[in-house]
Amino acid sequence: MDGFRLILSARSCIAFFLVPFTLVWAGGSVGGIYGMQIAKGEFNLLMSLFGLPFLAGSVLLIAITVMAVAGRCVVELAGGKFSIRTGALGVYRTQSAAWDDVLSCRLTEATSRGRSSYSTTYQVEIAVERGEPLRFGVGAERKTVLSLSRFLAGRIQRGR
């Protein structure tokens, strides 16, 4: 049985907004709160505690920005092991299962309601014999996710 490797880009044009916003937000808030303490050589417990939500928000915003700039999802079958790695710059979240445990593949959609409209997102869902389904492709275009799910469904049928 031969393997395959599919790469789905998670890059987005929202990065043109996120990069400068993140620089201002993280630099201003974290630099202003903690940088002043470091520059003065003094520790202020109240300011440090006040800065914790800004620090957590900055870490989250930086992670989202990195995914928008260089993110990708790697779907791979190698040596009888099926794995999905999502991340950027060498930091990945991995979901995996034995290829023999993979049962089916389908395209799922989720609709969420905003203030004045609905938005639909698509993702590929891989059913596994033991455990939770493996999911990937959230935020990608429908056409891309559909072609990936068709390819994987065909490979699963041929592999049985």
Please state, in angstroms and rounded to a whole number, the distance separating the CA atoms of residues 62 and 160: 42
Report residue 1's pLDDT band, with 50, 70 and 90 as the boundaries.
low
Give Rg (Cα) of the chain: 21
pTM of the model: 0.75
> Is 80 exceeded by the pLDDT of residue 90?
yes
Pairing of strands 72-78, 102-113: unpaired
pLDDT tens readout for residues 125-150: 899 988 888 888 887 888 888 888 89
SS3 75: strand
What is the rounded CA–CA span in Å between residue 111 and residue 109? 7
Sequence spans of domains, the chain: 1-160
Angle value at C-alpha 129, between 125 and 131, nearest 5 degrees: 75
What is the model's pLDDT at position 23?
92
H helix or E strand, kind and range, residue 62? helix 45-70
